[in-house]
Structure 1
Amino acid sequence: MSTLEEQIDINAPARQAWECLHSVKSYPEFVDGVRAARQEGTSRAHLDLDAGGKARVVDAEISDRGRDQLMMWRTTKGAELEGTFTLLPIDEQHTRLQARLTYDPAKVNESFGGPKGFAQSDAIAGMVRHDLEQFKALVEREA
């Protein structure tokens, strides 16, 4: 298993970032490759993806901890991935989002294709960084 950790500071209150993070329908606005997303019940999400020109489906289980500060998730259908998003208030108007992703490189390659080895790690880190930047822009637009 490989682990990736990234963080980004957002110019918005933690509560606002939390609400955006929990709005599954907004995922296509900040997660590249997500064509459509919908909430299923209180703790599940269904994502329709475009991965390297191929349609894919991912279902995820989501759970919260830490009073609006920690979201844990893991896929239940599709590529095997799991991770956490932690929101840390810097002050009343600024928040740090820390993302942690755990994945099996071979299974990610099998599900999505693309490079292998270090090139795959760099590609995944670049995608996560880009998604965090898009998330920041979305939250700050709504501030």
Structure 2
Amino acid sequence: MSTVTETIDVETDVTTAYNQWTQFETFPQFMEGVDEIRQLDDTHTHWKISVGGQTREFDATITEQHPEERVAWKSDSGPNHAGVVTFHRLDDRHTRVTAQLDIAPEGFVENVADKLGILDRRVMADLSRFKTFIEERGRETGAWRGDVERPGS
């Protein structure tokens, strides 16, 4: 399992940044290789991604979610991974977004990509595109303000 942690500061308030991140179905607009995400219910999503010329589909569960703070998830099937995105208010107009992913690369291509730091660069590029997406819009495309408590809390 490899861990990737990347951070970016965005020029928007923490509420707007967080609200946009909860709109999973917009991820294909700023995440490379994400073809489609369907929100099945408050805590379940279905992903369709392209990796190395292959299409993969998997389900993921949101394991923890708190407005303006964090969204955490784990895969239920497909590529084995889990992660958390946190939101830190810097001031009224700036937010620090940090993504931490634990990924178990599958197969030769993904293992080579991991060893060469390609996964780290891809996460940073996705965060950079998120920054552009939210800053150019100036507002979120929607919001989900519910709380999801960590299992066992």
TM normalised by structure 2 equals 0.83
Instruction: State how far apart, in whole Å, the 1-side matches of 2:58 and 2:85 are.
Output: 18
117 and 3 in structure 1: CA distance in 2 versus 1, 3 angstrom threshold: closer
Does structure 2 conserve the Cα–Cα contact (< 8 Å) formed by 1:6 and 1:129?
Answer: yes
Deviations 1:39-77 (A, max 9, x none): 011011111111111110021111334432111111111
Match of 2:78 in 1: 78
Cα offset for 1:138?
Answer: 0.8
TM normalised by structure 1 equals 0.88
**Structure 1, unaligned runs of 5 or more:** none
Match of 1:126 in 2: 121
What percent identity do the matched residue pairs reach? 26
How many aligned positions are there? 138
Instruction: State how far apart, in whole Å, the 2-side matches of 1:50 and 1:101 are.
Output: 18
1:34 partnered with 2:29: no
Does structure 1 conserve the Cα–Cα contact (< 8 Å) formed by 2:113 and 2:119?
Answer: no
Match of 1:137 in 2: 132
Does structure 2 conserve the Cα–Cα contact (< 8 Å) formed by 1:2 and 1:103?
Answer: yes
Deviations 1:8-61 (A, max 9, x none): 000011111111100011010111111111101101111111111111002111
Deviations 1:78-106 (A, max 9, x none): 100001000001001100001111122xx
Does structure 2 conserve the Cα–Cα contact (< 8 Å) formed by 1:13 and 1:94?
Answer: yes
Match of 2:106 among 99, 103, 109: 109
36 and 5 in structure 1: CA distance in 2 versus 1, 3 angstrom threshold: same
Question: For the aligned residues, what is the CA RMSD?
Answer: 1.8
Does structure 1 conserve the Cα–Cα contact (< 8 Å) formed by 2:63 and 2:74?
Answer: no
For 1:7-26, list aligned pairs within 5 A.
Answer: 7-26=7-26
Cα offset for 1:118?
Answer: 2.4
For 1:45-64, list aligned pairs within 5 A.
Answer: 45-64=45-64
